[in-house]
Amino acid sequence: MKRTTIIAVTALVLLVPVLFLACGGQEESAAAPSADFTANAWTDGQDLSGTTVQVFGAFVDEDARRFRRSMQPFIDETGINVVYEGSGDFESLITVRVEGGSPPDMAAFPQPGLLGDFVAGGQVIDMNEWFEMSYLQDQYVQSWLDMATMDGIMAGFWHRANVKSLVWYPKPAWEERGYPIPETWDELIALSDRIVADGGVPWAIGMESAGATGWVGTDWIEDIMLRTAPVEAYDRWVTGDLPFDSPEVRRAFEVMGEIWFNEDYVVGGIDAIVGVPFGDAPNALFADPPAAWMHRQASFIPAFFPAGVEVGVDVDFFYLPPIDTSVAPNPVLGAGDIYGVFNDRPEVRALARYMTQGISTKAWVEAGGFVSPHRDAELSWYPTDTDRRFAEIIANADPFRFDASDLMPGPVGAGSFWSEITNYVNNYPSVSLQQTLRNIDNSWPGR
């Protein structure tokens, strides 16, 4: 994979790292020298205190703080510093760093397809060399291991899962109006029309996300694809066997457009969609009266709600309804973070062992809005019925599929799919859907 010098320099300029060190921002030993750093389950009896593991990822702000808290038990018991750096331009910067010969020890990929690019380049350590398959099968159900297997190697390990097929709404105002929870797509559209007739705006949509702008749109397309086309078509689309310029994908874009391009449906109208940061978009739900009544977004979005907002009290969610139950009775779109490892040192192996165990997610699970993919994560850790509902939605999915753009090759999933859907929305209707789909197809590696 090649990148121009201009891209590399621009990406480096845009980096605004978020660093979390073991002790108050000072790079020093995580605990007192007198501590016993060998009595833990991760270092094989070695004293690795004072060493450092560098982790790079796309999550910032509150998610970064929650990650740091989830690492604290490991830091305390091993004395190993865990330094996390987050950037909204992760997708560009990880390429710059790996290809420049300065990779982090491990990186959290929200797009497994992008990790796959480094697997193809022989730059990722095979986790099968570090862990027995029996151990991995104790930690994860087989589907997660299957998704981590790329080009014959175990390309990484999973640490976070989320549910994407959710619609959030302002609970008190919603109940005061007597709005029903829609159970079918037709009911969802009828509700949207009712909100308009009542003088409101049904939807809050924002897709700005720095260098990752566009993923909000691709999520909508993927959720709709699972509801309008057979799951086999979805799987063929992920692998490139079903082109974007196909009836199935075109239909998904058209269904999305029935909401996105209806000026009565979206707060701020079409022009606001690309410019509104995805984390700010749900704020419209919390105005008095609500500036918008529904927001489709994943289970992680509560981390971006205003301070004091309580899920289940001030805001709630419902499952995004199916469209054609004959092709998918209860489809669920989800995603997660897979960690690829680039450097082999004892402290890196120790952190990888810790992160393949449920205990490494406990603090994040307890903070809410997080679903652990680990088999040994305990239901009692989930702080609310809301969080348990997330897990239940995944458990009851028929079918469950991973975010397609995250599985596609990096130049498509984290490249043209994002940029082309952004251009399509930003310039609608002057940019044609046909040209948008063909442009994405033409970017597929090998075509």
Strand segments (E) across 120-202: 149-150, 153-154, 157-163, 166-169
Query: Across residues 4-12, what is the average pLDDT?
Result: 33
Question: What pLDDT, on the 0 to 100 scale, is given for residue 165?
Answer: 97
Closest listed residue to residue 315, CA positions, set 175, 144, 428, 136: 175
**Per-residue confidence band for 438, with pLDDT thresholds at 50, 70 and 90:** very high
**Domains identified in the chain and CATH numbers:** 5-163+334-398 (3.40.190.10), 166-330+409-442 (3.40.190.10)
Strand partners, 55: 84, 106
Contact between 65 and 20 under an 8 Å Cβ cutoff? The reply is yes
**Per-residue confidence band for 253, with pLDDT thresholds at 50, 70 and 90:** very high
pLDDT tens for residues 311-356? Answer: 999 999 999 999 999 998 999 999 889 999 999 999 999 999 999 9
**Per-residue confidence band for 20, with pLDDT thresholds at 50, 70 and 90:** very low
Rounded-to-integer distance, Cα 244 and Cα 439, Å = 9
Judged against a pLDDT cut of 90, whether residue 66 lies above it is answered with yes
Judged against a pLDDT cut of 70, whether residue 436 lies above it is answered with yes
Q: Comparing 26-30, 117-121, 170-174, 223-227, which segment has the lowest mean pLDDT? A: 26-30
Query: Across residues 129-133, what is the average pLDDT?
Result: 98
Rounded-to-integer distance, Cα 71 and Cα 81, Å = 9
The pairing of strands 52-57 and 295-296 is unpaired
Judged against a pLDDT cut of 70, whether residue 3 lies above it is answered with no
Q: Which two tokens stand for residue 194?
A: 């009712």
Query: Across residues 406-413, what is the average pLDDT?
Result: 89
What global pTM score does this model have? 0.72
The average confidence (pLDDT) of the chain is 90
**Per-residue confidence band for 97, with pLDDT thresholds at 50, 70 and 90:** very high
Strand partners, 18: 86
Closest listed residue to residue 268, CA positions, set 172, 203, 193: 203
Side chain identity, residue 288? D
Question: What pLDDT, on the 0 to 100 scale, is given for residue 144?
Answer: 83
Strand partners, 85: 19, 56
Question: What pLDDT, on the 0 to 100 scale, is given for residue 4?
Answer: 33
Rounded-to-integer distance, Cα 61 and Cα 371, Å = 19
Q: Comparing 63-72, 283-292, 379-388, which segment has the lowest mean pLDDT? A: 379-388
Quick check: bond before 172 cis, omega within 30?
no
Q: For residues 395 and 49, which has the higher predicted lDDT (pLDDT)?
A: 49
Contact between 299 and 369 under an 8 Å Cβ cutoff? The reply is yes
CA torsion through residues 213, 296, 171, 175, sign: positive
Query: Across residues 212-234, what is the average pLDDT?
Result: 96
**Per-residue confidence band for 8, with pLDDT thresholds at 50, 70 and 90:** very low
The pairing of strands 332-341 and 400-402 is parallel
Question: What pLDDT, on the 0 to 100 scale, is given for residue 379?
Answer: 84
pLDDT tens for residues 51-62? Answer: 999 999 999 999
CA torsion through residues 410, 414, 415, 416, sign: positive
Judged against a pLDDT cut of 90, whether residue 12 lies above it is answered with no
Judged against a pLDDT cut of 90, whether residue 184 lies above it is answered with yes
Judged against a pLDDT cut of 90, whether residue 35 lies above it is answered with no
Q: For residues 382 and 31, which has the higher predicted lDDT (pLDDT)?
A: 382
Helix (H) or strand (E) holding 106: strand 106-109
Question: What pLDDT, on the 0 to 100 scale, is given for residue 31?
Answer: 47
Judged against a pLDDT cut of 70, whether residue 157 lies above it is answered with yes
Question: What pLDDT, on the 0 to 100 scale, is given for residue 395?
Answer: 66
Residue 319, SS3 per DSSP? strand
Question: What pLDDT, on the 0 to 100 scale, is given for residue 19?
Answer: 41
| Angle CA 203–208–210, to nearest 5 | 165
Rounded-to-integer distance, Cα 255 and Cα 330, Å = 18
